[in-house]
């Protein structure tokens, strides 16, 4: 009985698969060494968790933006950040924005930011997209439009230079 592949071919294929897997692990390991992680917890002045806060990290050299949000426990995590200096902005409804610049990240580093947010003034924007009829309360005059047809059908009055002129006198 003949085998589909000779034994040397099977060994070569197995070796190639093993080599590819090792290469992928090395690349993954190298990538993990050249990136960092920023994580932390967001609380208010009473140490209560601040869920749903927007966390934004901006690489100051490349201006690439990385975003995350805090969970129900106030915990956030921004993984696989390239090395460099970052600007960190945290925004949550009802709180003042929190900003830190110059956060330096080095290879394989895990930076922890535990931030206490300060209560801020609530901002509310109301936009109205409607037209309102203006009512003029300063005078009580009324008016009406006269169509061109009505003007053409009106009797023509001729003015004369005589002092006895009257609209009721014959023309």
Residue-by-residue pLDDT tens, the chain, 171 positions: 566 655 555 556 565 555 545 455 444 444 445 899 999 999 999 999 999 999 999 999 999 999 999 999 999 999 999 999 999 999 999 999 999 999 999 989 999 999 999 998 655 444 445 444 444 455 555 556 777 777 777 776 555 555 555 566 565
Residue ranges per structural domain of the chain: 1-33, 36-116
Q: So what's the pLDDT on residue 8?
A: 53
Whether the CA torsion 63, 77, 111, 35 is positive or negative: it is negative
Instruction: Give the separation between CA 171 and CA 146, rounded to whole angstroms.
Output: 26
Q: Which backbone phi and psi does 106 adopt, to 5 degrees?
A: -115, 170
How confident is the model at residue 157, as a pLDDT? 58
- The answer to whether the CB of 66 falls within 8 A of the CB of 78 is yes
The fourth-level CATH superfamily of domain 36-116 is Immunoglobulins (2.60.40.10)
The tokens for 163 are 């002092």
Parallel, antiparallel or unpaired: strands 54-59 and 84-91:
antiparallel
Tokens of 159: 């003015």
pLDDT at 31: 44
């Amino acid at each position: 009985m003949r085998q589909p592949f000779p034994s040397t071919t099977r060994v070569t294929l197995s070796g190639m698969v093993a080599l590819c897997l090792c290469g992928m692990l090395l690349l993954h390991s190298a990538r993990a060494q050249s990136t960092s992680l920023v994580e932390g917890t967001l609380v208010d002045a009473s140490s209560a968790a601040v869920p749903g806060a927007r966390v934004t990290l901006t690489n100051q050299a490349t201006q690439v933006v990385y975003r995350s949000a805090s969970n129900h426990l106030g915990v956030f995590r921004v993984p696989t950040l390239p090395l460099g200096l970052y600007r960190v902005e945290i925004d949550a409804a009802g709180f003042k924005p929190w900003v830190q610049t110059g956060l330096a990240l080095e290879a394989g580093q895990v930076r922890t930011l535990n931030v206490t947010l300060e209560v801020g003034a609530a901002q509310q924007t109301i936009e109205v997209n409607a037209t309102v009829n203006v009512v003029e309360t300063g005078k009580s005059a009324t008016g009406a439009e006269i169509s061109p047809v009505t003007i053409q059908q009106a009797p023509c009055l001729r003015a004369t230079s005589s002092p006895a002129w009257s609209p009721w006198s014959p023309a």
